[in-house]
Amino acid sequence: MSNTYQIYLISDSTGETLDRVFLAIKAQFKNIKYDVKSYFFTRTENQVSKIMDEAKKNDNAIILYTIVDTSLAKFLANKGDEKKIPCFSVLGNLIMNFSKLLNQKASHVPSGQHALNEEYYERIEAIQFTMAHDDGNLVEDVDKADLILLGVSRTSKTPTSIYLANRGYKTLNIPLVNEQSIPESLKKNPKLSCVVGLTTEPQRLVDIRKNRMNALKEKENTNYTNINKIEKEINEAKKTFIKYKWPTIDVTRKSVEETAASIIKIYEINKNNG
């Protein structure tokens, strides 16, 4: 019996919920070998049967599913029993419990979260805004942004902005070279929008820049990789953040998602105080 698990993710919609949940589960187990097969838009017994037949060919199949149609979910669970494949419903119990609590029947219609509603269009708008306001572009729009990220180089401003856009925040990011990098309107009114400063440890920045120079096969640019200069650059940035009372996050050893979560926290606090 092979000890590589075959994980089948079966969703009746786009599979994002399932993806996230499996990511969280697998992070709990260090030493498992597995392959993942994802099935989206699974909405008929015929589709389910085919997947289960396929899964049965493996010794180590495990099925995780998000199927909100009750009879299709039951069909899958029965097939699993029959074929002795462990099957786990990700949403079933939660929806049932919520239904009791809210004293309301669930719709059991898939893809409800993908309605083309206001929330959806706001999110798309946030992505478009953020794309157009990356890396110091159109800084005159600071008053239109939900979030403004100011950061020294290599603090993951761009991916963090994109991640925040995906969560619905119109984000504008500005590379901070010196105080002149900051638009006048923001200096005059530092609370114009929610501003967050991003910094990093100087040594990490030196390492990244050296790697970058090597990758580009460039001759060493001393200003760009000199630890003293970099320390000065980062200290200047920190002073600027203090001067304008902008909260800062040190991104060293943080993932983009973790940095973004801290930024959203700051945004929420600002909103509740403002």
Interface with a second copy in residues 176-235 (CB under 8 A): none
Q: How far is the CB of 227 from a second copy (least distance, A)?
A: 22
Q: Which is nearer to a second copy, 85 or 182 (CB)?
A: 85
Please give the Cα distance from 40 to 42 (Å, whole number): 5
Instruction: Out of 9, 72, 165, 234, name the contact with a second copy by CB under 8 A.
Output: 165
Distances (CA, A) of 163 to 77, 78, 261, 264: 36, 39, 10, 11
Task: Evaluate whether 65 touches 15 at the Cβ level (below 8 Å).
Answer: no
Told to check if 271 binds a second copy by CB under 8 A, we report no
Q: Quick one: which segment of 16-24, 196-204, 208-216, 227-235 binds a second copy (CB under 8 A)? A: 16-24
Which is it for the CA torsion 7, 10, 14, 20, positive or negative? negative
Of positions 1, 2, 23, 118, contacts a second copy by CB under 8 A: 23
Number of shown-chain residues binding a second copy (CB under 8 A): 74
Structure tokens that stand for 229 in this block:
């200069």
Instruction: Quote the CA–CA distance of 254 and 84 in Å, as a whole number.
Output: 42
Instruction: Among 1, 116, 215, 216, indicate the residue that binds a second copy (CB under 8 A).
Output: 116
Which residues are annotated as part of the binding site for ADP?
A: 151-158
266 belongs to the binding site for a second copy (CB under 8 A): no
Strands 33-39 and 61-66: unpaired
Q: Which of residues 30, 57, 84, 245 is near a second copy by CB under 8 A?
A: 30
- Candidates 9, 90, 147, 176; binder of a second copy (CB under 8 A) is 90
User: How far apart are CB 55 and a second copy at their closest, in Å?
Assistant: 14
- 8 alpha carbon, distance to own chain's centre: 23
Structure tokens at 237: 């940035």
Pull the structure tokens for residue 141.
């729009």
Which residue type, as a one-letter code, is found at position 53?
Answer: D
What 3-state DSSP class applies to 12?
coil
Q: Find the part of the chain contacting a second copy (CB under 8 A) among 23-31, 139-147, 209-217, 237-245.
A: 23-31
Closest CA to 200 of 153, 148, 261, 255: 153
Stretch that binds a second copy, among 104-112, 172-180, 199-207, 217-225 (CB under 8 A): 104-112
The C-alpha R_g of the chain, in whole angstroms, comes to 24
Residue 176: CB minimum distance to a second copy, A:
19
Site track 32-71 with a second copy (rule: CB under 8 A), x = hit: x-----x-xx--------------------x-x-x-x---
